[in-house]
Each structure stands twice: as structure tokens, then as C-alpha cells.
Amino acid sequence: MSVNTSKLLQKERKKILELWMKNQLADDSLRDDLMTNEELRVQSDELLTALTKSVNDKNLSNHQSSDFDQVFEILSGISITRARQGYSPRETGAYIFSLKDALLEVLQDEITDPTELFRVSMGISRLLDSFGVTTFETFIKGREEVILRQTDEITEISTPVIQLWDGILGLPIIGTLDSSRTQVVMENLLQRIVETGSSIAILDISGVPAVDSLVAQHLIKTINATRLMGAECIISGIRPEIAQTVVHLGIDLSNIVTKATLASALKYAFSITNLEVRKTVKTKTTF
């Protein structure tokens, strides 16, 4: 006799939920630091309710049926949230596949006909595998969004424009200088020139591991943009190995002021702006 899958799953929904929760709580990788057991139960109950209401014998083999739209919507929300919270792909995958185990266990208990058990079990198994793929795809998309956001934040933090003195800006560059980062460096520097009215910008490359022709081109672009804003650029942090590389590559930096250290660059900036810094000796006052 044919089994009505929809009615069976709705009838045994509470039993499935308990088995599913049991499977999840028994998993050593359960992250109760990111989600309480009660929150996990509420989340699981919502997904299971949507699944038992939508699945039937007609759409059991049609995983793209619009009947599952709510299920996919809930799954996508769960995957995105877990990606942002810091769950691993394995932990997220275990969530949906532990539901599959619970469903198959209940089907084995409730369906006595071997042929029907095989038919329904295979249908449920393939359906949950499809949900698992969707979960992973959405999770990866969410993780990529997190990584891109963090990369942007790190780039902003790693390219601070500092006002070293009235009219003098400093920009310490740490790490590799690629095209996208050069754009951020340039925008930040030009914006600060406008805000402060500075006439000199010191680009310190002490933290740049290596300078090749591409890095040099990015630096030159930044310098040219700065000059168009009416400010002069000084490059500091030229180490011996960088100087040798620049000469070996035939990069022309003859029209750019370069200094070995940030202190030397600042001293040079003082000289061309007619600033003089003097050390004074305090005299002790005796009573």
C-alpha cells in the first residue's frame, strides 16, 4: 500500500524534532557558545515545520519545486547567519544532515513495506542532499561577504593618513600594494590633503616587503595624483635591497625625493617648508 509521505511526516513531526535535536546535541562540534540549545530548537522547529508542510509524494523527486520556496528561504537565512556568526562549513553541513538521519530513522520505524520504505527513504535522502547543497552554496556566499567586508576594513586600517605636522601628512604603507589597495591609498590621501590643506605627503614604505615594477607604478600613480592636488610627495623607508631592486628593474625615481627613514623625510619636509625644530635645555630652578 502506498504511503502518504506528507501525512506521515506531519504526524511524526514532534518525534522527528526530538531525534534531530538529540543528534545535534550529541555532536561534539556543537557550538553552544554561538547559539543556545533553546535557540537551536526554535530554529530547527521552524525549518522542520516548513518542510513537513511542503513535502508530498508529487514533489519528492522535484527538488526545485516552488513548494519548497519557504524551506529554501529559511535554509538560506540560517546559512547566512551561521557564516556571519563564525560557524565552520562542517558544522553547518552537520545541521542539515542530522535532520536527514532523524527523518530516515522515523521512516524505518513507521513504514513496514520494504518497497515503500525504499521509495520514500530514497526520495527523502535525495531531497535532503539537495537542501545540503543549497546550504553549502549559501554558506560560502555568506562567508565570502564576511571576508570581503573584513578585507575592506583591514585595508582601511592598514592605510591610515596621519598629520605629522601642520601642512605635513604621513602615510605608512604596510604589506603588498596592489591595484585595489592603491585606489584606497590614493583616495584617503587626497581626501586628507583637501581636509587639512597640507602641502607635503610622506609615503613610508618601510613595511612593504618588496618593490617590483608594479608596486613602483602604483607609487608613481599616487605621487602624480598628489601633485595634481598641489602637494609634494616624499618616499621614505628605502632600504638597501629596495634600492638595488629599483636600479636593477630600471625604474626611474629621479624626479621623486626619496629618504632612507621617516625621520630623514620629516627633516627634509621641515627644511623645504622653512620649519626649524630645536632642542631646548631646561634650567633647574632652585629655591
Written as tens digits, the pLDDT of the chain (287 aa) is 567 888 999 999 999 999 999 988 888 777 777 888 899 999 999 999 999 999 888 888 888 889 899 998 998 898 888 888 888 888 888 888 899 999 999 999 998 889 999 999 999 999 999 888 888 888 888 888 888 887 777 766 667 899 999 999 999 988 877 777 788 888 889 999 999 999 999 999 988 888 888 888 888 888 999 999 999 999 999 888 888 888 888 888 888 999 999 999 999 999 999 888 887 877 766 65
Amino acid 20: pLDDT: 92
**Domain 5-153 class in CATH:** mainly alpha
Model pLDDT, residue 155: 65
Per-residue confidence (pLDDT) for residue 102, from 0 to 100: 93
Confidence at residue 101, expressed as pLDDT on a 0 to 100 scale? 92
Give me the residue spans of the domains in the chain: 5-153, 162-272
- Tell me how far apart the alpha carbons of residues 53 and 50 are, in angstroms, rounded to a whole number: 5
From residue 65, alpha-carbon distances to 107, 119, 171, 231 in Å are 22, 19, 56, 62
User: Which CATH number is correct for 162-272, 3.30.750.24, 3.40.710.10, 3.40.50.300, 3.60.20.10?
Assistant: 3.30.750.24
Q: Rounded to whole angstroms, how far apart are CA atoms 217 and 28? A: 52
What are the residues whose beta carbons fall under 8 Å from the beta carbon of 229, sequence distance 6 or more? 190, 193, 194
